[in-house]
Structure formats: C-alpha cells, structure tokens
Amino acid sequence: MTAEPPHRRLNSLTGNWVLVSPHRTQRPWQGKQELTAPPRPQHDSDCYLCPGNTRAGGQINPAYTDTFVFDNDYSAILEETDGPSDAEAKSSPDAGLSSLFRREPVQGTCRVICFSPRHDLTLPQMSTNAIRCVIDLWVEQTEQLGQKYKWVQIFENKGAVMGCSNPHPHGQIWASNQMPDIPTSEDEQQLEYMRNTNNVMLVDYISQEIGCEERVVVESEHWVVVVPYWATWPFETLLVPRRHVQRLPDVTDAERNDLASIVKRLLTRYDNLFETSFPYSMGWHGAPFVDGDTSHWQLHAHFFPPLLRSATIKKFMVGYEMLGEPQRDLTPEQAARRLRDLSDIHYLELECNR
C-alpha cells in the first residue's frame, strides 16, 4: 500500500489539473529506450551553426567568439505576410460558414541564439561568465522585440529527444503580435489571483515553497528553483526571482550574475541525475508588452525535461494525457529530493579529476 494514494493537483498558473499516481513508479518498462548521443567535436564543419560555416539558407556565419544571434532562415512567423487582413479574414469563404471557422492574421519574427562558438558545450558545461553573456542577449532581444511585438518567447530545445534538429547548443526567440494560448492562461490566472488577494501569485507561491522546503531544488540570494507542486514532467522545475520582477529587462546586474550561477547549478544537477546530457525544453514567461497594468505578472522560467527513469527512458505524453489530462508517477516531492541531493559539480568534470 503506497503512502500516498493517487490524487489530482491544480496548476494554479494555468487552471489545469494533473493526475499523480505514485504507485506506478514500480511498473516494469518494456517500451522504447532512447539512444544516448555520442561526444561532439569542438567544431563541426558540417554544422549550420558553427562559426564560419554556411547555413542551410546560404548565409555564412561570422567567426563569432561568444554568443551569436540571427534571424531564423526558416521562421515559423513572418514579419510581412500575404495572408488576409482582419477585414479580409472576416469576409473569407470560411468566415461565411459559421463562428466555428475562425482565423486571424499573425505577424512576428523568429531568431536563433547560439550560446557559444563551441559545438560541444551545453549551458551546464559553460562558465558562469559565458552563461551571463547568454542572459544579456536574452535581455537585449526581449527589450528590442518588445518594442514592436506583444509577446516575446525565449526558449531552448535541448537534445534530439526534444526534437532539436541541430546539436550545436542554441536557443530560439519567437516574437509575435498575438498572445499564445499558454501565456494567455497564465495571464488570466495571475490577474484573477491579484484581484482576489491583492498579491502577486508567484511571489506568494515561491515564498510558501521556501517556507516548506520540500520541493526546493536550489536557491540563491536572488533566485529559487522548485519542482512545482503541480509539475507534469518527471523532473520539471520552475525558476523564479525572489522579488517581484515582471520581465527579463527588469532584472538587475547583480540578479543577472546570480541567475547565471543558479542556471549552471540547476542544469548541472540535470546532467548529473543520469550522467547524460539531459534533454529538456525551457522557456521564459514574463509580462506581455501591452498597454495597461501588468503588475500581476511575475517573471519565471519553465524547464520541462522528459527523462523518467534513466538516460534512455523518457516520459511519453500519450493516451490518457492526450485525451484526459496530464499524469505523472514520481511525485514532485520525490523529484525535488533527488535533484536537490545531487552535486553542483558536473559529472564529466569529476571524471576528469579522477
């Protein structure tokens, strides 16, 4: 009999529920096992993102020496489109059918950020100074694109398991004139919380997490990382500043330095968990660039890693998750404890010193 029976937890940020089934951690696994990636060279002449190489679109990368950002050669959103205007969309053949056939134009831009010229260095293997350069670029790009677009989404897909098409460590920025669904849900939930309590949801939440400690993974002077109470992915984490901060450009110089350190510490723990280059999708959520009061927003970053039991076994979101609601076996408290107990020193660094 498990000490904790199956139960549901509410994601206060989105208003959705997740099913937690701790007793399923003992089930045998005969499903698919992922392949671990082989070591990479410092420079790959066939890589579209390495310094000096030609990209798929024909452009030649400069001989960059730290971070490098460029417009995505295959953008998902375009600044100028031949699509219909609002008025044209409303008068289109589809629009004449019923309110069930709706569409709207979207404009924006997509960019790629190379974290380092090194083809073989992921964020946890980079120095804190090098990570600080990445953070500065995140801030700069958010500030620049926020002058034109309502939403600026910074994210990273790390590893082939997460659909990353190029192994060179990099992230992306998609900026658009429309709010995506998930940030819209977060906006609504945070606003409702402020209306009911006159407080900022995630400021209250992180304060309470610090108080109970059981889901805290790592903390510093300015930042806290927790496995959220409502986590869906096995080792999902939430990175939140201690003070009220609405957007990345609002982060102070001291907070940026501290952020570089805590990102390295968190991602090193991820790699150390199964002694592999831990795949994940991560991204920043902050207040949209809109007119009006956005003080209900608190800046935060989500990390969604798929690995479940080992370097080769991942969590699949299928079946019940696609048709009912998300489900997890390992409790958030168990996941936080496992991550918290790991070393701040990368396992590869430890191997080199043996």
Domains and CATH numbers, the chain: 68-174 (3.30.428.10), 180-352 (3.30.428.10)
Residue 285: active-site member: no
Whether 149 and 109 have beta carbons less than 8 Å apart is answered as yes
Please provide the DSSP assignment of 294-339 as one string: -TT---EEEEE--EEEETTEE----THHHHT--EESS-HHHHHHHH
When pLDDT is cut at 50, 70 and 90, the band that residue 91 belongs to is: low
First and final C-alpha spacing in the chain: 43
182-203 residue pLDDT tens: 999 999 999 999 999 999 999 9
List the strands of the sheet with 327-328, edge to edge: 7-10, 17-20, 327-328
Phi, psi torsion values for 230, nearest 5 degrees: -105, 20
The active-site residue out of 170, 222, 302, 346 is 170
Instruction: Answer yes or no: is pLDDT of 322 > 80.
Output: yes
Predicted confidence (pLDDT) at residue 266 exceeds the cutoff of 60: yes
Q: What is the value of pTM for the model shown?
A: 0.92
Chain segment 231-256, per-residue pLDDT in tens? 999 999 999 999 999 999 999 999 99
